[in-house]
Chain A
Amino acid sequence: MNRKTALIAVSSIAFAAASGAFAETLTIATVNNGDMIRMQGYTDDFTAKTGHEVEWVTLEENVLRQRVTTDITTKGGAFDIMTIGMYETPIWGANGWLVSLDDLSAEYDADDILPAMRGGLSHDGTMYAAPFYGESSMIMYRTDLVEAAGMSMPDAPTWDEVAALARAMTDKDNDIYGICLRGKAGWGENMAFLTATSNAFGARWFDENWNAQFDQPAWKETLSFYIDLMNDAGPPGASTNGFNENLSLFQQGKCGMWIDATVAASFVTNPDDSTVADKVGFALAPDNGLGPRGNWLWAWALGIPAGTQNEAAAKQFVEWATSKDYIELVAAKEGWANVPPGARSSLYENPNYADVPFAKMTLESILSADPNNPTVDPVPYVGVQFAAIPEFAGIASQVGQEFSAALAGQQTVDEALAKAQALTMEEMEAAGY
């Protein structure tokens, strides 16, 4: 260990001296997801290559959002790089708060980034954040339980098929719940799932004149279907389960199926953490015969706040972390199943990655998500599981609390929708629509 750091130190001094570059210290805010924590472990590799040091600020997702948003809106300059998503990037980019990433080096090969990801992280054709990993959503299911139920899971199921299967797999006496879905309130938690799912049911957030649509039958159908299904086949306490809670339940073998982010596939198939690693199958998120599937599109990306003192070094870091070389590095050290997925086309052309069981379904899910035409009826916004307007996060967090309370049985579907409609109108009016 000591020898390793010493070696790295020596080589980085040599490198810095050779290139004549000053060594900077970058402060990077990131979320405590598995892939980012893995990235922190490889910081030494970056330092060895460029001579720059890195200070990590690793925070839980909600705290991170609160922290970076405060800093960017006040131009606080506390961070050189921020980990942000597909929702923030275009809004911040439009405000001129992020450094354009269109001038990254040729060997970085920005054209290799999946067009869906690049599009979602751009504003007016300029990319403002580089995807570290990208995801859609899909069904992860227990092949053994499906078999035991004497049924089968199609590759592209409908919601009715999924619901029937979920109810058949449920065995509450033995702590087996047919379906685990997000219920925890939050725009990035239950509302991501429900907004995406509502697309399949023909619902939408706003009509073309920005009128809230929670009073329409399609939303009622979505929410009733979801709550009925969760009551019959969901785990207890579902209204406080988010991504992490469901992941933990699935890894413990308590879920028959789970519809969530495609990145979860590598966690549930990792035998170190998952008790059901060899019994997981994958399918596209269900549709309802209307066209759209309830699968979203998201990327965790690295953006550089405008005005940072260390812009050049920050760009070097962004290139390093989202490069093909980084993927190779992780693959060499920890196997192909653990590389950050969903960001680059070349990964899916790589024959080594084709052997990974969830690779094909992940790519298909990402490719089938369409943020520009997410719904059955036309909408004025972009985004599958969100509407890319600044007000969305605030509104959806509150709507999410109403839906979560409905799932917990504290109010009816109609009450929840009426409140959602009222508060959405209220907030949109406050914002001046």
Chain B
Amino acid sequence: MATQHSRSAARLMMAPAVILLLGWMLVPLAMTLLFSFKKYLPLRGGDLGWVGFDNYVRFVTSSAFWPSILTTLIIVGGVLIITVVFGVLLAILLNQPMWGQGIVRILVIAPFFVMPTVSALVWKNMFMDPVNGLFAHLWKLFGAVPVEWLSQASMTSIIIIVSWQWLPFATLILLTAIQSLDSEQLEAAEMDGAPPLARFGFITLPHLGRALTIVILIQTIFLLAIFAEIFVTTGGAFGTRTLSYLIFQRVLESQNIGLGSAGGIYAVILANIIAVFLMRIVGKNLD
């Protein structure tokens, strides 16, 4: 159906979005690239000249670099696993007949509306605080010593907080997908005596493949960029320094724009590696 005419019209219509995003990507990227080859210390007079690849070498040889990559991957991976597993379970549960389904659904999706800063503050102070937090009270109720969440279980804490924010999103998408599942197929399988686990494994799960891909893709994009949750809770201490937090420390705390910019370029490379990786999986599943 596509004529030559509609092709050029199509290109024209895509142009604003593409050009804007290209500009949004290229202009800051070019400036970051420029800074990354300079000794740029605002507090010491600003631009102190070209230094070649010094910043790149320094950033990657810093003892904080590899741990930060690992931390990033653990947080992204941990949150993905939790949200996907519990998202599937929750979606199946919510799809069952029950009273007050609408209200339950509202309760479940609510965390998605809470801004990250607020949820981090609430979790940190009102739940995970080892003296006044609710968890501490709960632990004491059972005679246990309260856990010092943000220091002793720092990564777990951050993964819990972020998962809480993203579980609704996964649940919502998976729920819509489950609802579109042909119930007669499931019933037929049930008649044939297939046990629930087999019905789940052979019918429900394959049907969810596409939805799972999308959940993973979108969440990865957002999770790679998480910042507020770490800034508010641990400030990067106790092994929770992600790559973006490390860049933050270089740029804003150390005021070393050159070094931070080199870190930014590494982050772009990491993002692209993950993007290519995702495209491989998504490409198959997205058609």
Which residues in A have some Cβ–Cβ distance to B below 8 Å? 62, 66, 69-70, 73-74, 91, 95, 175, 184-187, 235-237, 239-240, 248-249, 254, 390-391, 393-395, 397-398, 400-401, 404-405, 408-410, 419, 422-423, 426-427, 430-432
Within 8 A of A (CB), among B102-122: none
Q: Which of A185, A410, A430, A432 has the most CB of B within 10 A?
A: A430
B256 touches A62 (CB 8 A): no
B148 close to A390 (CB less than 8 A):
no
With an 8 A cutoff between CB atoms, is B130 at the interface?
yes
Q: A408-B238, A423-B63 are in contact. Are A240 and B150 (CB under 8 A)?
A: yes
Task: Specify which of A95, A236, A410 lies most central, judged by the most chain B CB atoms within 10 Å of its CB.
Answer: A236
* Interface contact B239-A69, CB-CB below 8 Å: no
Asked if B130 contacts A405 (CB within 8 A), the reply is no
A390 touches B151 (CB 8 A): no
Cβ-defined contact, A426 with B62, below 8 A: yes
B42, B43, B148, B241, most chain A CB atoms within 10 A: B43
B239-A237 in contact (CB<8A): no
Q: Is the CB of A236 within 8 A of B146?
A: yes
Which among B7-15, B196-204, B246-254, B278-286 touches the partner chain?
B246-254
Residue B5 is within 8 A (CB to CB) of chain A in the complex: no
Q: Determine whether the beta carbon of A405 is less than 8 Å from that of B148.
A: no
* B255 touches A (CB below 8 Å): yes
Residues of the A chain whose Cβ atoms lie less than 8 Å from the Cβ of B152: 408-410
In whole angstroms, how far apart are the Cα atoms of A175 and B145 in the complex? 12
B266 at the interface (CB under 8 A from A): no
Question: How many pairs of residues, A versus B, come closer than 8 Å at their CB atoms?
Answer: 108
Does the CB pair A404–B151 fall under 8 Å? yes
Q: Which 7 A-B pairs have the closest CB atoms?
A: A394-B254, A237-B130, A390-B43, A73-B42, A408-B151, A185-B237, A401-B237
Residues on A with C-beta less than 8 A from B150 are 237, 240
Task: Say yes or no for B234: interface residue by CB 8 A criterion.
Answer: yes
Contact A393 B146 (CB under 8 A): no
What distance in Å separates the Cβ of A363 from its nearest Cβ neighbour in chain B? 33
Interface size class of B (residues with CB under 8 A): 35 or more
Residue in A236, A401, A427 whose CB lies within 8 Å of B131? A236
Q: What would be 17 A-B contacts, judged by CB atoms less than 8 Å apart?
A: A70-B252, A73-B43, A91-B43, A236-B136, A236-B145, A237-B130, A237-B148, A248-B132, A390-B255, A394-B250, A398-B249, A405-B237, A423-B62, A423-B64, A426-B62, A431-B41, A431-B44
CB distance from B261 to the nearest CB of A (A): 13
Most buried by A among B39, B41, B44, B253: B253
Q: How far is the CA of A400 from the CA of B236 in the complex (A)?
A: 11
Interface centre among B39, B231, B235 (most CB of A within 10 A): B235
Is A430 a contact partner of B131 (Cβ separation < 8 A)? no
Is the CB–CB distance between A69 and B255 below 8 Å?
yes
Quick check: is B129 within 8 A (CB to CB) of the other chain? Answer: yes
Residues of B within 8 A of A62 (CB): 231, 235
Residue of A whose beta carbon sits closest to that of B133: A237
Indicate if the CB atoms of A394 and B256 lie closer than 8 Å: yes
Docked Cα-Cα span, A370 to B45, in Å, equals: 29
For window 18-48 of B, CB contacts with A under 8 Å fall at 39, 41-45
Q: Mark B40-72, 1 if CB is under 8 A from A, else 0.
A: 011111000000000000100011100000000
Residues of A within 8 A of B170 (CB): none
Query: Which residues of chain A come closer than 8 Å to B62, judged between CB atoms?
Result: 423, 426
In the complex, A426→B61 CA distance in Å?
10
With a CB–CB cut-off of 8 A, which chain B residues contact A432?
A: 39, 44
Other 10 A-B pairs with CB < 8 A, given A397-B235, A398-B253: A69-B255, A185-B235, A239-B148, A239-B237, A394-B256, A404-B238, A405-B151, A426-B58, A427-B254, A432-B39
Bound CA span A320–B20, Å = 47
Closest to A92 in B: B43
In the complex, A431 Cα to B255 Cα: how many Å? 10
Closest partner residue, chain B, to A405 (CB atom): B238
Query: With A236-B146, A430-B58 in contact, do A405 and B239 touch (Cβ < 8 Å)?
Result: yes
Q: Which of A73, A91, A235 has the most CB of B within 10 A?
A: A73
Residues of B193-242 contacting chain A, CB below 8 A: 231, 234-239, 241
Complex Cα spacing A175 to B250, Å: 39
The docked-state distance in angstroms from the alpha carbon of A336 to that of B72 is: 51
- Whether a CB of chain A sits under 8 angstroms from the CB of B259 is yes
Expressed in whole angstroms, the Cα–Cα distance for A175 and B132 within the complex equals: 11
What residues on B are CB-neighbors of A249 within 8 Å? 131
Most chain B beta carbons < 10 A, residue from A74, A175, A237, A248: A237
Q: What's the Cα separation between A398 and B151 when bound, in Å?
A: 16
The answer, among B148, B231, B238, B253, for a CB contact under 8 Å with A397, is: B253
Q: Considering the chains assembled together, what is the distance between the CA atoms of A394 and B151 in angstroms?
A: 21
CA distance A427 to B236 in the complex (A): 18
Q: Is A395 touching B234 in the complex (CB atoms < 8 A)?
A: no
**A390-B44, A422-B63 given; A66·B252 CB < 8 A:** yes
CB distance from B165 to the nearest CB of A (A): 20
A405 to B150, CA, bound (A): 11
User: Digit string of B169-185 for contact with A (CB within 8 Å is 1, else 0)?
Assistant: 00000000000000000
Question: What's the least CB distance linking A186 to chain B, in Å?
Answer: 6
Q: A235-B131, A397-B249 are in contact. Are A73 and B151 (CB under 8 A)?
A: no
User: Which of B129, B151, B152, B231: most chain A Cβ within 10 A?
Assistant: B151
Q: How far does the Cβ of B151 sit from chain A's closest Cβ, in whole Å?
A: 4
- Cβ–Cβ contact B151 & A240, under 8 A: yes
User: Which has the most chain A C-beta neighbours within 10 Å: B63, B238, B249?
Assistant: B238
Q: Which residues of B contact A240 (CB under 8 A)?
A: 130, 148, 150-151, 234
| Cα of A419 to Cα of B62 in the assembled complex, Å | 11
Task: Note all chain B residues with C-beta closer than 8 A to A184.
Answer: 235, 237
B41, B148, B231, B252: the one within 8 Å of A236 (CB): B148
Residues on A with C-beta less than 8 A from B250 are: 394
A394-B238 contact, Cβ under 8 Å, with A240-B148, A430-B259? no
Q: How far is the CA of A423 from the CA of B136 in the complex (A)?
A: 35
Q: Which residues of A contact B256 (CB under 8 A)?
A: 394, 430-431
Alpha-carbon gap, A285 to B45, bound state (A): 38
User: Smallest Cβ distance from B43 to chain A, in angstroms?
Assistant: 3
Bound: A414/B63 CA distance, A: 17
- With both beta carbons as reference points, the residue of chain B lying nearest to A88 in the complex is identified as B43
B249 touches A394 (CB 8 A): yes
Determine whether the beta carbon of B252 is less than 8 Å from that of A69: yes
